[in-house]
Amino acid sequence: MPQFRILCSTALKSSLPQITKIWAEPLDMAPQIEFATSMAMKDRLNAGEKNDLLIMTEDGIQELVQLGLLTSPSPSFIQCGIGVAIAPNQPPVAIDTLTNFIQSLRDTPSITFTSKGVSGIYFAKVLNDLGMTQFITQKATILEGGLVATLLLNGKAAMAVQMISELRAVPLAQYLGPLPPEIQHWTRFSAGVCNASSQPTLAKEFMVFLKSVVAQSIFYEAGLDGVNCLDGVN
């Protein structure tokens, strides 16, 4: 049997490997999983990279379906908000209200977020709306993608802003909580079968498993919330 390849958003990095292992064990197979930002995944598919299944933002899946790169999109099966984490030994700061969060942004000596991830793109918009872009950028380490909370562990940043599941994927980082409700942003995730897939039936079976009680409980433990969606795959 050919290698079953999954290309997935980094938001699922702490949950998808366990879910995939449970699903694949009875099939006596070991799927290959790679994680990337939504923008990077689009670029890789446009460049002709061959995968069987893609898991990314709902909007991204729909865009790639329209471009003819994906088929059989699933309903959204999880969603995730954006949160804040700080260095392990740092005293907690208040982020519960917008006023407190703004003050904590001003007070932090350094901060990190992404430039190409969904959370980073949205956070840049928030900073612009708050009139804080220049002030924050001067003390920011901005990565293209990956788990930015790792910078909290080596002293390269004192605060990290990213999707909650991505922050919680770095256990030693001190997770504070979600963004204040006024500026929170929820991202829904879905999946699609790659046109170049050599195992489309298997891909569809896995998409159904992603909505199972087993998978949803693992997602929840990783900081991802379920979405009420229809059963089945188109």
Mean pLDDT calculated for residue range 119-129 = 97
**CA–CA separation, 68 and 125 (whole Å):** 30
pLDDT of 39: 84
232 has pLDDT over 50: no
**CA–CA separation, 68 and 90 (whole Å):** 48
Q: Which fold has domain 5-79+187-226?
A: D-Maltodextrin-Binding Protein; domain 2 (3.40.190)
Question: What Rg value do the Cα atoms of the chain yield, rounded?
Answer: 18
Q: What is the mean pLDDT of the chain?
A: 93
Amino acid at site 64: L
Listed in sequence order, the residues at least 6 apart from 218 whose beta carbon sits closer than 8 Å to its beta carbon are 15, 18, 19
30 has pLDDT over 60: yes
Task: Give the model's confidence band at 1: pLDDT under 50 very low, under 70 low, under 90 confident, else very high.
Answer: low
pTM of the shown model: 0.89
Amino acid at site 108: T
pLDDT of 29: 92
pLDDT of 38: 85
2 has pLDDT over 90: no
Please report where in the chains the tokens 């449970």 appear, as a residue: 22
Helix or strand holding residue 221 (H, E): helix 213-221
> Greater confidence, 233 or 56?
56
pLDDT of 228: 64
82-183 CATH pick, 3.40.50.2000, 3.90.1150.10, 3.40.190.10, 3.20.20.210: 3.40.190.10
pLDDT of 15: 96
pLDDT of 62: 94
**Is 82-183 in the same CATH topology as 5-79+187-226?**
yes
81-121, pLDDT tens digit by residue?
Answer: 999 999 999 999 999 999 999 999 999 999 999 998 899 99
184-203, pLDDT tens digit by residue?
Answer: 999 999 999 999 899 999 99
The DSSP letter of residue 97 is S
Please return the burial class of 28, using the count of CB atoms within 10 Å of its CB with bins 0-12, 13-18 and 19+.
Answer: exposed
Give the domain ranges of the chain. Answer: 5-79+187-226, 82-183
35-80, pLDDT tens digit by residue?
Answer: 998 888 989 998 989 999 999 999 999 999 999 999 999 999 999 9
pLDDT of 46: 87
Q: Compute the Cα dihedral for 219, 221, 225, 230 and give only its sign.
A: positive
229 has pLDDT over 80: no
pLDDT of 234: 43
